Amino acid sequence: MKLDLLHRGLVPIVTALMLGRADQVGAQAAAPAGTVQDFAVPSKAYSTPRHLWVYTPANYPKSCADGCSLILAFDGGMYLGVMGLTAALDSLTAARRTPPTVAILFDNGGPPTRNDDLANHERFATFVADELIPWARAKWTITRDPSRTIITGSSLGGLAAAYIAFKHPDLFGNVLSQSGAFWRGNEGTNDAPYEWVTGQYAAAPKKEIRFVLDVGALETVGAMGGAAPSLIAANRNLRNALAAKQYRVEYFEVPGGKHDPESWRLRLPLGIVALAPWR
């Protein structure tokens, strides 16, 4: 479904979320709230356990008798707070716009940990695939179908979502990226060659991954003092590379959009429903 058409159908939901009235989404009933718990995940890849939050939908486990859909969101503290992911899922589920979903909100911390996780790092991708997802599957009733799994983030988190899906399309069949930092090189480098992930998608056979990409129309300043592409240019280049390979891509440049959560949070529900409509 095209995002412009989808937006018209979600205006009441997005408006309620903007006004902080997630319980008023949907004309028939208020949205029952899910549950959020925090955990420390043991890891062989890292010297200390990794912190995250897990959201389970209202009436879990009954609501997930057939296996919940799954969202993995990076920069989990932001998604738990200002991005309002859990309230959005409460509202979208109650309105029957997306199915009951378990969400892992992963805490990537600040620099340098965040960069070491999210800037095209093989170690973190391997941790997600070999440790995090098996840990989650052992604890919650969640799908094993990649077409029902979304990996998402903004800025570096959007880059990591596209990178990890490329590495592990058997786990992640949907990428929701907002202002993805696709200008970056491999393994966290700030030097050329830039746009490494875009080059990987362009060079490899097509994978079974769907994309929703959005970026602010004002994100026009080149990274690294102008030495690297701007966010809007890098997002356009990834969109073009994906389209050339015939990936399913929804792409949107947000009028007046800046590089901040206020630009991202209002479009987050649109991306979720575009990739995971109620079945």
Domains of the chain listed by start with CATH number: 3-23+32-275 (3.40.50.1820)
- Which among 178, 138, 116 is positioned nearest to 39, based on CA atoms? 138
Cis peptide before 112 (omega within 30 of 0): yes
Distance CA 217, CA 253 (A): 5
What's the predicted TM-score (pTM) here?
0.91
Give, for all 279 residues of the chain, the pLDDT tens digit.
Answer: 555 545 445 545 554 544 444 444 333 457 899 999 999 999 999 999 999 999 999 999 999 998 999 999 999 999 999 999 999 999 999 999 999 999 999 999 999 999 999 999 999 999 999 999 999 999 999 999 999 999 999 999 999 999 999 999 999 999 999 999 999 999 999 999 999 999 999 999 999 999 999 999 999 999 999 999 999 999 999 999 999 999 999 999 999 999 999 999 999 999 999 999 997
- pLDDT tens, position by position, 122-180: 999 999 999 999 999 999 999 999 999 999 999 999 999 999 999 999 999 999 999 99
Question: Quick one: how far is CA 104 from the chain centroid?
Answer: 10
Q: Are 72 and 149 in contact (CB under 8 A)?
A: yes
Q: What is the dihedral of CA 215, 220, 222, 226, to 10 degrees?
A: 180
Summarised one tens digit per residue, pLDDT across range 75-95 is 999 999 999 999 999 999 999
The H-or-E segment that residue 153 falls in is strand 149-154
